[in-house]
Structure 1
Amino acid sequence: MGIRAKMRLENVFAQAWGGAKAIFRCEYDQKVAEDLSFQKATPSGHAEFQIDNPKAAEQLIIGRSYYVDFTMVPLPEPAA
């Protein structure tokens, strides 16, 4: 089972080395029905991601909300 958060992109900063840093925060609109359930589950939080893929960074729009999904990685099989 996974966990889904809804986060708003607060800002994207260009990095000196050429990548970008994207900052997301839990921020909800009281007029949006879906946001009420997200607000109850994750009332506050933030995430920062360093992105070194220009095509990925181009898709990020400041002020827009994004779903962030967390899925547990299965334990690796022991080496023979």
Structure 2
Amino acid sequence: MAIRCKMRLDNVFRHQAWSGLKAFFSCIYDEKLAAADKAFQKATPTGNAEFIIDNPKAAEQLVIGQYYYVDFHPVPEPEAKPS
């Protein structure tokens, strides 16, 4: 089963220890936005996520204040090797 969160990019900082950026996301509810926000708010009332992104092509696509869907999918177990 997949899980989808709707999150807003709150801020981006240059990461001090590594190259790349640190992106901070939060779950935000705004009644003036899409009606789907009510469903997201009920399922994910609050939360935060932060990611270190060391891929310039990915990082340049991030826009502070923009909303993003974050999807979680289970990783299948690897198949056992025959003995």
* Residue in structure 1 matched with residue 61 of structure 2 by the alignment: 59
Tell me the TM-score normalised to structure 2 length.
Answer: 0.90
The amino acid across from 2:14 in the alignment is A
The amino acid across from 1:19 in the alignment is G
Q: Which runs of 4 or more aligned residues in structure 1 lie more than 3 Å from their structure 2 counterparts after TM superposition?
A: none
Distance 1:18 1:42 in 2: 31
Within a 5 Å distance, the mapping from 1:43-54 to structure 2 comes to 43-54=45-56
Query: Which deviations, in whole Å up to 9, do the C-alpha atoms of 1:38-64 show, x marking residues without a partner?
Result: 001000000000100011000000001
Please state how far the C-alpha of 1:18 moved relative to its aligned partner: 2.3
Distance 2:73 2:61 in 1: 22
Distance 2:32 2:15 in 1: 36
The amino acid across from 1:22 in the alignment is A
* Residue in structure 2 matched with residue 12 of structure 1 by the alignment: 12
The amino acid across from 1:7 in the alignment is M
SS of 2:65's equivalent in the other structure is: coil
Distance 1:20 1:79 in 2: 39
Q: Which runs of 5+ in 2 are unaligned?
A: none
Q: Which runs of 5+ in 1 are unaligned?
A: none
SS of 2:19's equivalent in the other structure is: coil
Farther off after superposition, 11-20 or 60-69: 11-20
Query: In the comparison of the two structures, how many residue pairs are matched?
Result: 80
1:28 to 2:35 alignment:
no
Identical positions, percent: 65
